[in-house]
Amino acid sequence: MKTTTSTQVTHYEVQKKRRESLLEEWKGYHKTVVRRSDVTMVDVPSRRTRRGVYAGWDGDRPTKNLDATVHELDPGVTTTIHRHSWDAIMFVEEGSGWTEIDGQRIDWRPWDTLHLPSWAWHRHGNDGDRPARFHTWSVEPMLEQFGVALLEEGGDTPVKDLPPRPRQVEPITGDDPYARRTQRLARQYEGTESARLVTRFEDVRGLVTKRGARSLFLVDKSIGYHTAGLSAVMHELAPGLYQSRHRHGGEAWLYGVSGEGYSIIDDVRHDWAAGDLVVVDHWQWHQHFNASKDKTARLVRVHNFDALYDMMRILMDPLNLFEELPTLDAPDLTGVVWPDHLEGRPEG
Ligand SMILES: [Fe+2]
Ligand SMILES: [Fe+2]
């Protein structure tokens, strides 16, 4: 075994080079708009589905935080069951079907949103008469980065014969450092297994924000979900209108659900339509516009807030990780008549 070091370059030079090449490599992976037509659907025989990757390692568009995948499920098909250490948001685009999460069946229709919690066994079924399509946005890349991304396949085993979710420790009484750790972890985990799993689109209504859009939470801790940081909001942009400009330290992903528009990101215009994914990279000034004069444009915004951005804010302080104009450049919404929020939703 070799026990001597004969490096001729200094620690400083090695680290400097490593830092530069990492960022260069990662900037090369960034793609601002991934169009529906850029996404190839591929058969996944082991799960009985088809899958297309918008962004993520599995589709040769590596990411470090989130990934975005679209899934297709033929009529009459039930997938195999699996579970994983990362959680995911699932957004239904077309068709109707169901998802079973730890044995609990949830029926869904277009624009319904589900949360697939970490370590919950899940499988999907299509009992409609045409293919169903849904999107998932997960934090698998973040867990892979930390070396804790675990995936377990259950095949067609009934959920009652599969092991339960890993148990969190019971809190130990006392004030020693170990007891305190168990108490804190138990507190954090509390409610996780009974947390909310679905947002039905017909049951939610948006509120007009100061930024100029009508927005509603799809998945967020403020409406009863326990995620590992994932949050999803739907923004509706009124015909011909837009949202105020801002920038932030974390990236934001925007999936076009209906309508068409464009985003100005660091002074460059990027057009998008339903089916496209817009990836706003960190610290880029951005503003989203509805390009239509008569139709609402809807975007689902996904980010990894509580886990990643809160940590980034603390680690990066005193750098400010959110910035908007001192006076918001939001449109005047007086007189705007918002269409029925179900307008344009595909039949289930
Ligand atoms: Fe999954
Ligand atoms: Fe943003």
Is residue 93 in a domain?
yes
| 66/134 same-domain check | yes
Written as six digits, the tokens of 113 are 């949103």
* Residue range 53-85, pLDDT digits in tens: 999 999 989 999 999 999 999 999 999 999 999
Distance 295 CA to ligand 1 centre (A): 34
Distance 227 CA to ligand 1 centre (A): 14
Is residue 82 in a domain?
yes
- Quick one: average pLDDT of 292-306? 92
Distance 103 CA to ligand 1 centre (A): 14
| 205/264 same-domain check | yes
Q: Is 109 in contact with 182 (CB distance < 8 Å)?
A: no
Residue 312 belongs to what domain range?
A: 199-324
Last residue of some domain: 111, 135, 163?
Answer: 163
Place of tokens 């085993």: 157
| 133/47 same-domain check | yes
d(CA 217, CA 214): 11
| pLDDT recorded at residue 194 | 94
Is residue 8 in a domain?
no
* Residue range 33-47, pLDDT digits in tens: 999 999 999 999 999
| pLDDT recorded at residue 149 | 98
Written as six digits, the tokens of 166 are 């890993």
Give the closest ligand to the alpha carbon of residue 115: 1
Plot region of 283 (φ>0 → left; ψ -120 to 50 → alpha; else → beta): left
Is residue 341 in a domain?
no
Is residue 343 in a domain?
no
Give the closest ligand to the alpha carbon of residue 80: 1
| 67/157 same-domain check | yes
Distance 286 CA to ligand 1 centre (A): 32
CATH number for the domain spanning 90: value is: 2.60.120.10
d(CA 123, CA 326): 47
Using the predicted structure, report yes or no on whether residue 210 has a pLDDT greater than 90. no
d(CA 171, CA 246): 43
| 40/119 same-domain check | yes
Is residue 78 in a domain?
yes
Is residue 173 in a domain?
no
Give the closest ligand to the alpha carbon of residue 114: 1
| pLDDT recorded at residue 249 | 86
| 139/238 same-domain check | no
| 137/217 same-domain check | no
Distance 122 CA to ligand 1 centre (A): 7
Instruction: List all residues 6 or more positions away from 25 whose beta carbon is below 8 Å from its beta carbon.
Output: none
| 134/207 same-domain check | no
Domain count, the chain: 2
Distance 84 CA to ligand 1 centre (A): 7
Upstream peptide bond of 110 is cis (omega within 30 degrees of 0): no
| 154/86 same-domain check | yes
d(CA 110, CA 325): 36
Distance 290 CA to ligand 1 centre (A): 33
Is residue 146 in a domain?
yes
| 106/157 same-domain check | yes
